[in-house]
Structure 1
Amino acid sequence: MGSIILASASPRRSELLEQIGVEFSVQPAHIDETPRSAEMPGDYVERLAREKALAVAVDFPGKLVLGSDTSVILENAILGKPADEHEARSILAELSGTTHQVMTAIALAQDGHCESRLVTTEVSFRSLSPAEIAAYVATGEPMDKAGSYGIQGLGGIFVQELKGSYSAVVGLPLQETAVLLANAGCPVWKYWPSSRESQS
């Protein structure tokens, strides 16, 4: 399965692909991520995932290229990665005690053809004190993450309830990724090691 490329430098997406047994190489995509005028959040997230996959696929004929994008949405507004610590604190204060959506899109491109899926997960935060927001921002964890938190890290203690895909909130919806790869003739389970083989 060495013909699969992940069009992302995110270590979290790499870890999730490894979790389901996918062998892949990494080739980050470089695209303009500016939202279009009046573009809906779901359309924006899915467009970026597709553009990332297609941008990398152009340079690798015949290869399967996975592109993904994640955005945190609060009251229909896209909360991206914070520009600085002040913005990170402000975003976390906005999320405190509310329910927001995490939208993650996964796209699989090959030779100009692209299939994609959009996954929306509802995440509810408990109320956060200014002191713990400040302490969390001081760790540096929020600085490279949409919505200024990582559910798989220290920020996991803020989450009161989650409805939907946990892996999508981390950055890659595993079920949808596996379906796209299977539809493209690469079911991930075919590459899982057998315990019988390891014992022989």
Structure 2
Amino acid sequence: MKLCLASASPGRFTVLTGAGITPEVIVSDVDEDAILDRMPEAPAPDIVLALARAKAEAVAASHGRSLVIGCDSMFVMDGQILGKPYTPDVARTRLRAMAGRAGVLFTGHWLIAPSGAFGGVSDATVHVAPMTDAEIEAYIATGEPLHVAGSFTIDGYGGPFIERLEGDPHGVTGLSLPLLRRLLTQAGLSVTELWDGI
């Protein structure tokens, strides 16, 4: 049985392949802004789960796949949800506010399997190191923080600025392996069935 990853995220792909699972990658064409517009007051865990579900369902429906995982992440600091910044100015403002502080990264997971659909949310408190303006500018110049939730990664250029985590470390990269295992178990499957060459 082949797992389909409904995401173009290199971090999610790397997490899976590092765990012995090489997924088929099919990117969904979900209009994330339309979903966000329908949930203006919803808490971050509900939003990331809704987005993950929409991505998985879109890929399963349009490509006829029977085992699909969709994911979405958002960073919350001071009660404010921080998605992808997209522009250097937004990333700069966020990184300055985050430097030397902590927030919570939520990652929604939605698994579609032959036996049904199953969802869950992982979370981790992320402690960001104090950053100088020069470090922030250099990080923005890499382009990496513009297209990731919260304006940072732990598995790329942003790694040196993440001092510690409390909670699920895999979810910070975009896909929680322990949560995926639990969802597969609920679906009557074992994660070991997805291992390459086994």
Above 0.5 in TM-score?
Answer: yes
| 1:38 equivalent among 41, 51, 54 | 41
Q: CA deviation at 1:27?
A: 1.0
> Counterpart of 1:19?
18
Q: What are the ranges of 5 or more consecutive residues in structure 2 without an aligned counterpart?
A: none
Is the 1:41–1:76 Cα contact (8 Å) retained in structure 2?
no
CA distance in 2, matches of 1:186, 1:172: 18
Q: CA deviation at 1:182?
A: 3.0
1:156-175 matches, cutoff 5 A: 156-175=159-178
> Counterpart of 1:188?
191
Is the 1:80–1:146 Cα contact (8 Å) retained in structure 2?
yes
CA distance in 1, matches of 2:43, 2:16: 28
1:103-182 matches, cutoff 5 A: 103-110=106-113, 113-182=116-185
Structure-2-length-normalised TM-score = 0.89
CA distance in 1, matches of 2:40, 2:156: 34
- The size of the alignment, in residue pairs, is 194
Q: CA deviation at 1:132?
A: 0.9
Which amino acid counterpart does residue 135 of structure 1 have in structure 2?
A
CA distance in 2, matches of 1:16, 1:107: 16
Per-residue deviation, residues 10-66 of structure 1 (Å, max 9, x unmatched):
111111111222242111112122322211111111111111111111134461110
Which amino acid counterpart does residue 86 of structure 1 have in structure 2?
D
Displacement over 3 Å in runs of 4+:
110-113, 190-194
CA distance in 2, matches of 1:12, 1:39: 26
Structure 2 residue matching 1:58: 3-state secondary structure: helix
Structure 2 residue matching 1:131: 3-state secondary structure: helix
